[in-house]
């Protein structure tokens, strides 16, 4: 029996999402990756708030429909490949094979379309990464963004939006598999998490 699994990794900016996703990408067999950061709308389409801050940390800043299509394209392609391989092997005793997709992004669990959440029914596991305010701010300051963050952007926009989105997620989702809150916790939990994923 061949399977396909889709793993969601979300959380705060610079919280380790990409690091964890890339680690899983290397360790899991037949694994692909879709990153939400690749689906930002053009800068000219991003709204600006009353403080002059571009609203990048909102779901409206993302072309989620195109991202959802990419996820469904992977599902269709992997199903076709699985069907071909099962026909070719025609053997119930053959070694089980699995195909994995990692979907990584800071607002994976917030997108709603026509009163539903399109990713809800396709994610087999959901993870959320969080780090303390000071650590997040320090990491953000070390990264180069295009366009660069204006002065006060983290405190005036990034952190408040993270708290807002985290609260919304906790109110609407009870099925987040793990919430990691520090680098030490992530190091301890990554190996067990990989074990859980292998047993899905």
pLDDT digits (tens, 9 = 90+) for 53-105: 888 989 999 999 999 999 999 999 988 887 777 667 655 545 667 889 999 99
CA–CA distance, 149 with 170 (Å, rounded to integer): 28
Give all domains of the chain, ordered by start, each with its CATH number.
Answer: 3-198 (3.40.50.300)
What's the pLDDT at 96? Answer: 67
Strand partners, 24: none
Taken in order 111, 112, 116, 118, the sign of the CA dihedral is negative
What's the pLDDT at 181? Answer: 54
Strand partners, 33: 102
What are the φ/ψ torsions at residue 52 (nearest 5 degrees)? 85, 10
What's the pLDDT at 175? Answer: 72
Per annotation, catalytic residue among 37, 45, 49, 80: 37
Identify whether 63 is a catalytic site residue. no
Structure tokens given for 101: 């997709």
pTM metric for this prediction:
0.82
What's the pLDDT at 102? Answer: 95
pLDDT in tens, 14-48: 888 888 899 889 888 889 999 999 999 999 999 99
Strand partners, 10: 128
Please say whether the beta carbons of 62 and 108 come within 8 A. Answer: no
Residue 196 predicted with pLDDT over 60: no
What's the pLDDT at 192? Answer: 46
Question: CB neighbours of 29 closer than 8 A, spacing ≥ 6?
Answer: 97, 98, 100
């Amino acid at each position: 029996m061949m399977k396909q699994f889709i793993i969601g990794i979300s959380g705060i900016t610079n919280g380790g999402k990409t690091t964890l996703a890339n680690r899983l990408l290397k360790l899991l067999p037949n694994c692909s990756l879709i990153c939400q950061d690749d689906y930002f709308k053009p800068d000219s389409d991003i709204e600006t708030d009353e403080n002059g801050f571009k609203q990048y940390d909102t779901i409206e800043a993302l072309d989620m429909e195109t991202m959802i299509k990419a996820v469904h394209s992977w599902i269709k392609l992997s199903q076709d490949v699985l069907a071909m391989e099962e026909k070719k092997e025609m053997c119930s005793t053959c070694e089980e094979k699995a195909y994995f997709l990692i979907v990584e992004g800071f607002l994976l669990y917030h997108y709603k379309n026509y009163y539903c959440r399109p990713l809800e029914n396709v994610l087999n596991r959901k993870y959320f990464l969080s780090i303390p305010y000071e650590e997040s701010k320090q990491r953000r300051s070390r990264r180069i963004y295009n366009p660069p963050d204006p002065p006060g952007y983290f405190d005036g926009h990034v952190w408040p939006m993270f708290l807002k989105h985290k609260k919304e997620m906790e109110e609407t989702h009870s099925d987040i598999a793990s919430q990691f809150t520090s680098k030490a916790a992530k190091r301890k939990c990554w190996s067990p998490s990989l074990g859980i994923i292998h047993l899905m």
